[in-house]
Every structure is written in C-alpha cells, then in structure tokens.
Structure 1
Amino acid sequence: MIDVSNNYISGYIPAEIGQLQLLQKLDLHSNNFSGVIPYQISNLKHLEVLNLFMNHLFGIIPSSLANLNFLKEFNVSYNNLEGPIPTGTQLHSFDASAFEGNLKLCGGPLPNECIPNKDMDADNKNNKDEGNGHHQLPWFYIFAVLGFIVGFWVVCGSLVISNTWRYAYFRFIDNLQDRLYVMITISASTR
C-alpha cells in the first residue's frame, strides 16, 4: 500500500511505479501531481484501489488500465483529464462521481457522449509514448555534464591559451609536490 494523500507533493507520477508488482492500494489524492497518468500503472496486476482525486493530471485515461482486473475503487475526479473513458473496461462499472470535475471527459458512465476527434486519437498514442506527461530529461545529469564541460574548459582552456597561467599552474603543482614530499619525509622520520 502507498498512501501519500494530502501532502502537496508536486511533479509527475513516476513511470517506475509500474515496477511495484504486488501493490494493492495507490492513494495519491489531494496533491499537486501533474502530467498524464502513466500507462505503466497497468502493470500493477493486484491493484485494488487507485485514487488520483484532486491533482493536476491531464491527458487521457490510459486504455491499458483495462488490465487491472482486481480494481474495486477508482477515482480521478477533479483533474484536467479529457477524452473518452476507455471502453470495454471495468472503468465503466464505476459511478460517474469517480470522474466528475473533468469537464472534457466523455463516454459511459458519464452522461456526455464523445465526439470523434482525430486529435484525440493522436493524444492517445502520445500518452503511451510519453510515459508521464512530457519527455522528461534527466536534468541533473545534463547540468552535471554541462558543469564538467564548462569547468574543464575554464581550467584547461586558460592553461592552453595563456603561457603565464600555464607556468604559474605548473609552478604551483611543483611546489605542492615538494611540500607533500617534505611532510611525508618528516612524518616518516619521526616515527
């Protein structure tokens, strides 16, 4: 069971949540999650409760949720979901209150019917491709690599360009090496 409701957690629901194969209850309601519902949730074959009520989720409800055979409670109310509720799934067995507040959702059990939309079909395909909202770049690694590149060229580039800095740097390294040698020799001789 994972219950982190009412915690004001923001960000995307990680796609890795689908690796928790034995998870039975996932309660993320009343947070600030954004992005789409990751289709990897359908990997949770033992999931009985999925509560995503009152977040900032958008996009469609993944049709892959049809694979959740044990689902007894489901709530995606008050998000920004759109499109048809996947047909042929047990999602249709839930009360309309499980979907309320999503003004662009349509299809049973909701009273508003869906109008075929080519853009929505493209969104359905993109929803699966994107995983959880946007193509998430590993920003930490990008900044680490950029920091290394900039730092490397600031130090090494200045040594390549300026003779004065190069001589000063190597003089500093030689002096440091001499000091370390003296410290180690003195330390070894006093033992």
Structure 2
Amino acid sequence: MIKNLIAKALGLYTENDFWKAVRDKYNKLAIEESEKFNAEIAALNIKATQILQKHNPSPSYYQFFGLFPFVANNNYHYWFIVMIPTKTNNFFPTYKNCDIYVIHPHSSNRAAFLYFEINGHKAHIVDLRVKVERVGIGSHLLQLLEQIVKPLGVEEITGWLSPVDYKYRDVQINYYKKNGYSIKLTDDKQGWVSKSLNLQNN
C-alpha cells in the first residue's frame, strides 16, 4: 500500500519503474558520499603537508617523525604528531624529550600531548595532558605510545601521579585502569602507574 502511494506520488506506474528509481537514488547518494569522502581525504592530505612544512624537524636530531590521522568519537579529525630524537647511547638505548602531541586540522592549538623518555627496556611518561576529553584521544595516546616503544625493546611503561593533579586523581586512576595500567598510590596525593608490555600480545 505504502509502496503504491509513493510510486503514484512520484509518477512511477510499474514495478520496474519503482525499483529503478530506488536504485538511481541509491547510486546518486553513493556517488555523493564518495565525492564527499574523497574531498575530506584531499583536504586532510593538504593539511598534513602544511603541518610537516610548519614543523620541519631536523633530520640530524630526530630519528623518527610521524604524522598519524585519527577520527575521534565526536567525528572530528585530529593529527597525532610523533617525534623521537636520535638515541643518545648505543649500548643502553636512551631517548630523551620524546613527544606525541595532538592537533585539530583547523586549529594550531594542541588538543593533547604526551612527553616521555626511554631508558633501556623502560619508557616513562613525563607529562600527559588531554584538553579535549571524552572523545577517545586520551586512550589513543596511550595505545600509540605502546605501538611506538615496543619495537624499541621497551617492556614496561611507567608514569608518575603528581601531587599537583591530586584533585583529578579519580579521573586519572579510571583513565589508566581502563587502558590496562596498574596503580600504586604512595599517599593520598601521589603515586605511580605501570604497564608490562612483555605480557601483551604482539
């Protein structure tokens, strides 16, 4: 009944007319979505080039410089920029001042950042701040950190819960626990987090 009413309203008098109209509409929508997607990818590629040109890291200082796109839960695109300096010790790999920071394609402001160091088989989170919350950026930061340090032989990631942030301690604990970290509080204002990577599946 409903199909007949729609067909009549659209001037479609046969079954074939009706289904042809449906297919044509579907194909039109598919083409529009494809064009929209391609336009977004092209825009992101242009933005990626601009970001790389802006930061232009020194090849003599950075061993690795990467740019990774990420679509957050709010459907916004962000860029995760990773910078790993050249190691300072060939026998006991040490990487100081390693950075991961997150920017929105349409803003130069950082949505989040993570500073860390690598000493042998351990990586230590020096500082971590997430300014855009509840969209998946924070968890992706830790996941990306693991992906970066594992190939460098890191077996454990640690971090310090600073007394400066004790007002947000419950949020921090939930965040780290959700991402598989163990928590050890030394008192009511500070503590440590850690995660063993050699027990994780590669």
TM-score normalised according to structure 1 size: 0.24
TM-score normalised according to structure 2 size: 0.23
The higher relative CO (CA closer than 8 Å, separation ≥ 6) is in 1
Larger Rg: 1
